[in-house]
Every structure is written in C-alpha cells, then in structure tokens.
Amino acid sequence: MEEEGGNRGGQSPLSAAKWYELFSRGARDWLRHDEKVREAVRANLPEIIAGGEVINDGARTVRVPVRMLEHYHFRLRRPEERQGAGQGKAKPGDVFSDPSQQQGPGEKGAGGRDEGEVQLLLEFKVDDIVDWLWEEMQLPNLKARVGPSEETDWTREGWDRRGARSRLDRRRSFKELVKRRGAPGATPTFTDEDLRFRQLARRKQPAIHAVVFFMLDVSGSMSDRDRKLAKTFFFWVVQGLRREYRSLETVFVAHTTEAWEFNEPEFFQVSGTGGTVASTGLLKVREIIDARYNPGRCNLYLFYASDGDNSVSDAAEARAALASVAADTCFTGYVEVSSGLSRQLATETGKLFAELSGAGCAAGSYALNDFDDVWGAVRHFFSAESQAPEGP
C-alpha cells in the first residue's frame, strides 16, 4: 500500500495515474453490447422499417426502442406463486401489493436479476439503414439513367504553355526542365518554355437528377391507416432513391375525383371524400412534368398508392394517362393499400398496372395490407426497378 499515488510528494500526476483511471472495462464491454444490439436490429430490419412510428420527421435518423440483451442461463420456470422471506412489520395473513423493489443499503448490486425492464432508445442513421437494406437485399444498385443531358461542368483536361498562375503544374514543369537540360548548352534554370499549365474544358454531365412523384388516393374509402401505410412505404422509397441521386426532388399529388399538388407535411394530412378517378391524378402528374421537368434531363419516378377502387367509367382515360406518364418515367410503381381486404391487385387500378408491365414498361405492383408488408414492398420495387429495362 506504500506505492499508492496521490499522497506522495514529487510524483508527477501522470505517473501517479493508475491504469484504471485511463481505461474502463465496463465501458468497453458496454460498447460491445451496444454493437450486438445494433447487429440484432440490423438482422430484424423488416420489423423496424415496418414500424410507422419510428420515422422521425425531418431528422435523418430513426429511433428504435430496444431491450437490453440478456445473457441466458438455465433458470427455473416462473412459478405461479413464488415464496420468499421478508422482514418488517407484518402478521401472518396480511395481504398487500408488491411495493417497489427495495434493496438494503450497501448491498452489492444483484446484477442479472430483474434486468428486463430498462429500455434503450437507439438512434440509427437513415443512411446506415438504407445501406444495410441494400446489402441485405443484395440488390444491384440502381442505375441512374445517363441521358443526353444539357448540363455541363468544368473538368480538367490537358496542359498548355500558358495559363493562370494558380494552375501551374509543378511536377510537369520540372520534368520539362529536366528534359531540356539533357541537351548540351542548355540553361540550367527554369525558362518560360518549361512551364506547363493545367487546362479546363466544359464537358456534358450525365443526368443525375431525380424527381419522384408520389401520388396518393385520398378518396373517402382510404382510411387513416391506409394513408399511414402509404406514408411509411413512401418514406423508404425516398431513402432508397436518395442514395442514388445527388439531388432528389419530390412531388406530392393527391386526388379524389380531382387532383391537387401538395407540399409534404400537408400531403399526409389530406383526406377527401368522394369517388376515385385516377386519371385526374395522372393528368396532374403529366401537367407537372410538362411544366417543370424535362424527361431527357432527369430520372422520373412515379409511385402511386391507392385502394384500387377506381371508377369503372374512368378506365379508358386512366389507361391513356398512365401510358403517357409511364413513357417518360424510369419506373412506375403501384401499391395497393387495402387493410383488411386482401384482394391481391384484382382491382380496377391493379389491372391497369398489370397491363402496363405486361406491355414491357418498367412498372410494378404490390399489395400492401399490413405494416409487415412494407419491407416486402420495398424489396419488390427495388429489385424490379434495378432489373427493369432501361427506359426509352
């Protein structure tokens, strides 16, 4: 005990510091536990992305409540009635309800007993989850359409003897000097002849811009739950596409028998009454594309969520509108949200999309009946999209 630091003079504080002041084994093992939790979460991604509650608007994170992991031992089954010994003012026959667990002071923590109660709230970066999803699904990454783009950018190209001082390529200039000095009678110092400057040229950039149209049926038959299903699905679609495209624009269109464009927060609040006329929505999308976007320059995506009860009289118009939109989009997806009824796409709208993909267009449909299906839907669309033939 003589070597104890602190009370001896002349010792520098650093040498007096013991290893346990610099290193915490508890924290190390805690980090390992944390890692294991994250692995477990990762293994259960479908359940997590299905939870509608986890999406944290605005923030690029998802919060997942998790239980502490338990290191399992052999234990006896929980009995119906447990016997124990206690201490205090109590007579035989007394009945009371369990006061909160009390521990004697100074008692060493009985770690490992009632450990199921603490919940952790882990925050995951959306980007990480999307990365995992991609790994998990083993999808080939989406191919951005490289179209005839009018966007240009400066790129470095070649050297010249004249140029701005800031573009002087020293290594290259020095090589020139060495070459020239090889010749007999040359001046040993730099001359203007030796200098080389980097040059820039304008080059066309491939289109790496994407616009996603989310079209939602808000007619009277779509319940809150249906809208929430659609929202959860849309959220993950945006994440998936955002991974591929540097800039991603989203356009939100809702329709009943009419169609409107909304901003994002309003979009999910909208509820309407009345019938479903899908062609109004599709025409609205058409109108927005024509007004704002050039299909040659951006990658357009359309995702449509509806319960599928399109008005029968609208079939011809909707077919035409859909064909016109699909001609310009990289991919068109249809999710049928019909909680309770699983009609498996045998609806009016379902048929329209089936025709479309039958005709060789990049299109897909999926019946989304429950939050558990969100995972399947994401997988379905993205594997379909990545295998889809390149758009026109």
DSSP letter at 49?
H
Distance of CA 378 to the CA centre of its chain: 11
**Number of C-alpha atoms within 13 angstroms, CB side, residue 20?**
2
Supply φ then ψ for residue 234, to 5 degrees.
-60, -40
- Per CB under 8 A, 389 contacts another protein: no
- Per CB under 8 A, 82 contacts another protein: yes
- The closest of 392, 334, 389 to 367, measured between CA atoms, is 334
Among 9, 73, 192, 312, binds another protein (CB under 8 A): 73
- Residue whose tokens read 């019946």: 367
Residues 103-142 that bind another protein (CB under 8 A): 103-109, 111-112, 115, 118
Task: Show the site string, 140-159: x = touches another protein by CB under 8 A, - = not.
Answer: --------------------
Give the residue with the Cβ less far from another protein, 35 or 266. 35
- Per CB under 8 A, 171 contacts another protein: no
- Per CB under 8 A, 72 contacts another protein: yes
Stretch that binds another protein, among 30-38, 165-173, 224-232, 372-380 (CB under 8 A): 30-38
Q: Which amino acid is at 327?
A: A
Stretch that binds another protein, among 89-97, 187-195, 330-338, 381-389 (CB under 8 A): 89-97
d(Cα 263, Cα 253) in Å, to the nearest integer?
9
Among 76, 121, 164, 312, binds another protein (CB under 8 A): 76
The pair of structure tokens assigned to 370 is 């429950």
Give the residue with the Cβ less far from another protein, 72 or 154. 72
Stretch that binds another protein, among 54-62, 68-76, 189-197, 368-376 (CB under 8 A): 68-76
Give the residue with the Cβ less far from another protein, 58 or 111. 111
Please state, in angstroms and as integers, the Cα–Cα distance from residue 47 to each residue in 54, 229, 370, following that order.
11, 14, 11
- The closest of 324, 238, 317, 235 to 276, measured between CA atoms, is 317
Q: Which residues contact 169 (CB under 8 A, 6 or more apart)?
A: 159, 196, 197, 198
d(Cα 261, Cα 330) in Å, to the nearest integer?
21
- Binding-site residue total for another protein (CB under 8 A)? 64
**Residues 201 and 155: beta-carbon distance below 8 Å:** yes
- Per CB under 8 A, 13 contacts another protein: no
Stretch that binds another protein, among 25-33, 165-173, 185-193, 287-295 (CB under 8 A): 25-33
Stretch that binds another protein, among 21-29, 58-66, 122-130, 353-361 (CB under 8 A): 21-29
Among 10, 14, 75, 162, binds another protein (CB under 8 A): 75
Quickly list DSSP for 218-270. -STT--HHHHHHHHHHHHHHHHHHHHH-SEEEEEEEEESSSEEEE-HHHHHH-
- Per CB under 8 A, 26 contacts another protein: yes
> Which spans of this chain sit near another protein (rule: CB under 8 A)?
1, 4, 6-7, 18, 20-21, 24-34, 36, 68-99, 101-109, 111-112, 115, 118
